[in-house]
Homo-oligomer: A and B are copies of this chain.
Amino acid sequence: MRGMKSKVPLITMLTDFGQQDHFVAAMKGVIAGICPEARVIDITHDVAPYAIQSGAFLLQQAWRYFPERTIHVAVVDPGVGSARRPLLLSAGGHYFLGPDNGLLSFALEEARAQARQLTQTRYMLPQRSATFHGRDIFAPCAAHLAAGVKATAMGPKIEDALRATQWKPTRLARRQWSGAVQHVDRFGNLITNFACDEFGAGMAESFALTAGTEAITQLVACYANAPRGEACLIAGSAGYFEIFLREAHAAKKLGLGVGAPLELLTCGKI
């Protein structure tokens, strides 16, 4: 929803904290204390523990649908308490707070991206643990930002924020590509890293996508068009082709997960 401005300060949260503990609530309590008018929306807290890459994928999928000036707090942070820096990025008209471990590096590719290191302790909790910077650093800084503190006041600009390598397909031969499964969703659909924009035309005629022992050759327009029990490909809502089984869990049935290698052979030109 680019170009729209939110009237209420909006903060999203993405973590690997789960929902069975008090962690997320403590962060929301801190925010409510500093900026009671801020609205908090969960992206997810069920990122697999320490899975930085998964967290990055999900935040990348969600953030653009929020209004400009939304503040995204992302905490998947195995290095909490160590020398890794806490970051604030302004990018694409949004703000992103999280550890400097690659989780936010996709945002560095956005328009007007600017990274700062969070250093101003007056915007953090007075007592900071070594194990829970979500509560002690990221939530209060996000709340102060929501309450009107300028990003420039939060800490100095830095130029060397970590840029994680993007997980992109590589060309093996003229019409042959190597790719990977980058996400498995709740339904067991395998989201590949073949972008619809880039690979759609080349696959229009015919193609073969090898995933484990499966060779997928059917592209369908909607889930309900697929024959049951046969792995098919669909142009997914995330902008990537997805491997799915109609009303079944493709990941379990095909024995494939995040990182599983894929090989694509197309007849059309890419």
- List residues of chain A with CB under 8 Å of any chain B CB: 1, 4, 6-8, 10, 12, 16-30, 32-34, 36-37, 39-47, 49-50, 58-59, 61-67, 70, 78-82, 84, 129-132, 135-136, 183, 185-187, 221-225, 234-238, 242, 247
Question: From residue A206, how far is it (CB to closest CB) to chain B in Å?
Answer: 20
Q: Bound state CA distance, A224 and B50, in angstroms?
A: 12
CB–CB A222/B81 < 8 A: yes
Residues of B within 8 A of A19 (CB): 19, 42, 44-46
CB–CB A33/B234 < 8 A: no
Partner of A82 from B46, B66, B222 at Cβ < 8 Å? B222
Residues of B within 8 A of A186 (CB): 16-18, 20-21, 23, 49
Residues of B within 8 A of A45 (CB): 19
Known: A79-B224, A80-B223. A66 touches B22 (CB 8 A): no
Partner of A81 from B32, B62, B132, B221 at Cβ < 8 Å? B221
Question: From residue A38, how far is it (CB to closest CB) to chain B in Å?
Answer: 10
Q: Bound state CA distance, A28 and B21, in angstroms?
A: 20
Residues of B within 8 A of A132 (CB): 237
CB–CB B135/A22 < 8 A: no
CB–CB A29/B81 < 8 A: no
Partner of A130 from B7, B20, B222 at Cβ < 8 Å? B222
Partner of A131 from B20, B82, B234 at Cβ < 8 Å? B234
A/B interface sample: 9 pairs, CB < 8 A: A4-B33, A12-B25, A19-B42, A19-B44, A23-B186, A24-B42, A25-B65, A32-B41, A81-B223
CB–CB B37/A8 < 8 A: yes
CB–CB B22/A10 < 8 A: no
Q: Bound state CA distance, A183 and B217, in angstroms?
A: 39
Question: From residue A192, how far is it (CB to closest CB) to chain B in Å?
Answer: 14
Known: A36-B67, A129-B236, A235-B130. A42 touches B18 (CB 8 A): no
CB–CB A234/B65 < 8 A: no
Known: A34-B1, A46-B19, A247-B78. A29 touches B65 (CB 8 A): yes
Residues of B within 8 A of A66 (CB): 29, 32-33
CB–CB B224/A22 < 8 A: no
Question: From residue A167, how far is it (CB to closest CB) to chain B in Å?
Answer: 16
CB–CB B131/A78 < 8 A: no
Question: From residue A199, how far is it (CB to closest CB) to chain B in Å?
Answer: 16
Residues of B within 8 A of A221 (CB): 81, 130
Q: Bound state CA distance, A6 and B7, in angstroms?
A: 19
